[in-house]
Amino acid sequence: MTRPGVVIAGTGQAGFQAAASLRQQGYVESITLIGDEPHIPYQRPPLSKEFVAGKQDVRHLFFRPESFYSTNRIDLLKGETVTGIERASRRVRLASGSSIPYDTLILATGARVRELPVSGVCYLRTLDDSTAIKHRLQTVEHVVIAGGGFIGLEIAAVARGLGKSVTVVEVQPRLMPRVVSPIISDFYRNLHASHGVEVVLGAGLTEIGPRPADLVIAGIGVLPNGELARDAGLATRDGILVDEYLRTEDENIYAIGDCAAHPNPFAGGRIRIESVQNAVDQAVCVASAIAGQRKPYHDVPWFWTDQFDIKLQMVGLSGGYDRVITRGNTGSGKFSVFYFRAGRLLAIDSVNRPGDHMAGRKLLANRIPLTPDQAADESVDLKKLS
Ligand code: FAD
């Protein structure tokens, strides 16, 4: 008799990767992948970049064609919501009324947009959101974006590239304030201004006036989807609490990706990370554990954002830095910012300098020390050190 196997709630980056990695690692029991969106699993990064700009066909968003799932014996349930977890009997309840047994449950429920208490605002999280915005962009002239974080700024760049007049309103005194240093914030403010984006800092969007901007989009962060775990009696606090193996308090239930608050050695504590790298590497880690190779999750965090012709790549976590060193010249549009605490390298943000980013990934992963002087000295070859 076949075992109930693995059930995965959520068909985003993390859920898809967990299913694919389980098969790659030789797992032979059933895999059921359940997602409430109507599409086969797809990637989100292009939704605020090439896809919304009309430069990428929807087919390129899908991780794999539909046939992949049947070929790999992955039961994909689209448009189906997991509504409850019966931990004692190890079953998940579905909105359609049925229930499915599991040996192991992976919660990969991701996050949902934080909303403004203002009506008439669009948000961007899903393929359907991006498709709707893409269509609106064909007809509108003015775009107002609430939130000067990654997603807001990426859309601003796309909208400007389509010839729209664009205003970005950020409540904090600088752009991308939660994650980058003022050097990077200033660079991006100038970048957007030089392309004709109006950037308003220190101001919040409170209402949409009688002559509204044609299109208002808010990108003001997300909230983790932890309710399923919480209602099943599992601990949640800004996400589903997991240990270093990404297991919840229930040894048969894991949580990965945007929804998982995990102990991270680079953060020096518990953190929830919203990135492709985090979703993929946590999925691989859990798939390995289920397939018999258990090891703690210790991967180096990294992230990227594309705005106009500039790629920002970030590695490590810069929170708590006490010193920054700039390598290269900000005026040249190619530079990196190194973040240190007590002389120890925490993170590197690289603007159009992929070599620094790749070397940084190795330095941080292998705990290779780098001094502030070495970071500043362009004659020091980071690749050789790493
Ligand atoms: P999600 O992708 O959110 O997937 C979770 C899925 O679970 C969703 O489909 C959700 O609807 C579903 N779900 C939730 N609850 C249930 C339930 N009860 N039953 C069934 N299904 C459920 N990261 C980068 O590193 N670089 C980038 O450039 C970048 N750009 C981005 C651009 C955009 C527009 C967005 C939205 C994100 C971007 N990200 C980027 C972040 C990255 O895409 C996310 O971190 C990643 O998708 C997280 O994957 P996940 O599987 O944890 O969650």
pLDDT 10s digits, 56-75: 999 999 999 999 999 999 99
CA of 128 to the centre of ligand 1 (A): 13
**DSSP SS3 for 358:** helix
First and final CA of the chain: distance in angstroms? 50
Q: Which of 40, 109, 299, 315 to mutate to test the pocket of ligand 1 (most atoms within 8 A of CB)?
A: 109
Residue 53 banded pLDDT, cuts 50, 70, 90: very high
The pLDDT value recorded for residue 16 is 99
Query: Inter-axis angle of helices 127-139 and 150-161, to 10 degrees?
Result: 30
CA distances (Å), origin 46, targets 109, 151, 282: 20, 11, 21
When the pLDDT of each residue in the chain is averaged and rounded to a whole number, the result is: 96
pLDDT 10s digits, 213-248: 689 999 999 999 999 999 999 999 999 999 999 999
Residue 79 banded pLDDT, cuts 50, 70, 90: very high
pLDDT 10s digits, 114-127: 999 988 899 999 99
Residue 206 banded pLDDT, cuts 50, 70, 90: confident
Q: What are 323's two structure tokens? A: 């010193």
Residues with CB under 6 A from ligand 1: 9-15, 34-37, 44-45, 47-48, 81-82, 108-111, 124-125, 151, 225, 228, 257-258, 274-277, 279, 303-305
With 0-12 CB in 10 A as exposed, 13-18 as middle and 19+ as buried, what is 269?
A: exposed
CA of 44 to the centre of ligand 1 (A): 6
Residue 211 banded pLDDT, cuts 50, 70, 90: low
Check whether 210 has a pLDDT greater than 60.
no
The pLDDT value recorded for residue 1 is 59
pLDDT 10s digits, 159-200: 999 999 999 999 999 999 889 999 999 999 999 999 999 999
The percent of residues above 70 in pLDDT, for the chain, comes to 98
Span 335-351, average pLDDT = 97
CA of 373 to the centre of ligand 1 (A): 39
Ligand 1: which atom is nearest the Cα of residue 274? 45
Residue 362's contacts (CB-CB under 8 Å, 6 or more residues apart) are 368, 386
